[in-house]
Amino acid sequence: LHHLPDTITEYLGDGKKYNVKINYNFESEILGTAGALEPFISKLCDDHFFVIYGDNFTKINLKSLFKYHLDKKSDFTIVMHYREDVSHSGVLECSENGRVIDFVEKPKPEDTSSNWVNAGIYLIDPGIICNIIEKGLDFGQDIIPKLISNKCKVFGFRIDDEVIAIDTPQMLEDA
């Protein structure tokens, strides 16, 4: 949590009314999209886990994503969707079997020919990531490129549904 943490904790509470357990961590300074996991890493390293960005909205079948992840024997699966303008997104270039062969964060038009972008939803095998998470790291800038360069099994999971970014009050109003 960072912006308006009381609003979130008061609304969601401990998660019991949603039949889940919620653990919170307040970031007085932003830790990065991957660095935000650092306070929870000991709780995450026993089984596959999802990371879902809170400033995007989409419909997704998490069971289908989990099945795809297991079928591919993926270390790190990135949900991706099609977007015409990719200049504000992380762009995935994949082989025919869905393996991510390149990831470019916020590219210039000449830097990629792909229109498949990061939806901000990941399914992660803890064995591949738990030892590299630290404060200040970002998935798009640091973790995903490192996994690809280390020949880890990173796969893209395509969805047809729109992903609505709600990064600003105006974008929330528009959504």
CA dist., res. 69 & res. 81, Å (int): 16
Helix (H, G, I), strand (E, B) or coil at 4: coil
Q: What is the pLDDT of residues 61-114, one digit of tens each?
A: 999 999 999 999 999 999 999 999 888 889 999 999 999 999 999 888 788 889
Q: What is the pLDDT of residues 7-63, one digit of tens each?
A: 999 999 999 999 998 989 999 988 889 989 888 888 888 899 999 998 889 999 999
CA dist., res. 166 & res. 152, Å (int): 31
Query: Reduced to 3 DSSP states, what percent helix, strand and coil does the chain have, rounded to the nearest 5?
Result: 30, 25, 45
Residue 169 · residue 64 · CB < 8 Å: no
- Rounded to a whole number of angstroms, the CA Rg of the chain reads 16
